[in-house]
Structure 1
Amino acid sequence: MYLPPVIHEDLIDSVETQGYVPGHIESVMRFGPKSRWRAGAIVDSATERSQAVATRCALLIPRRGRRTRKLALHPALPADVIKSMLQAL
């Protein structure tokens, strides 16, 4: 059985995501009614405009608040594993 790693608050909006400009949308995520996230997307960066270290991020829209949060992702990590880690539907 695969147990996904725990997503800590320290990993969200980390140093790697500063200056990140989203480009191509890879996958869209939905979350359940009890999740802290309303929706999200897995995106690749715009290579010409992005100044961040991260080349792939999960953009997360919280239920409360207006600011989109960013989670840096490994480029080789499959979208299904990311959705499992974030408990997306």
Structure 2
Amino acid sequence: MTQQLQTILDNAWDNRANISAACAPKEVVDAVEHVISALNTGHLRVATRDGVGQWTTHQWIKKAVLLSFRLNDNAIMHAGDLAFYDKVPTKFAHM
């Protein structure tokens, strides 16, 4: 599954100029949503520590995060009396 996600995301990244919130293949949207969900639950990490001062960045996961910004339009977010625009819903929006 991971290799399949990586392939989908790498191909989408290479074609990112043609991807938007209004026009994106379902396969890409599903892959990005899966990665974002796995990041939120801690099952995936964009970077992992290999040792003291040594880190490995997982480029395909980073690409999924960046693609998510292309797949979501700005929306008004509310936090108490504040209102602001963002593309990522706040973690505590349901509270």
TM-score by length of 1: 0.24
> Radius of gyration: which is bigger?
2
Higher relative contact order (CA 8 A, sep 6+): 1
Greater share of helix residues, 1 or 2?
Answer: 2
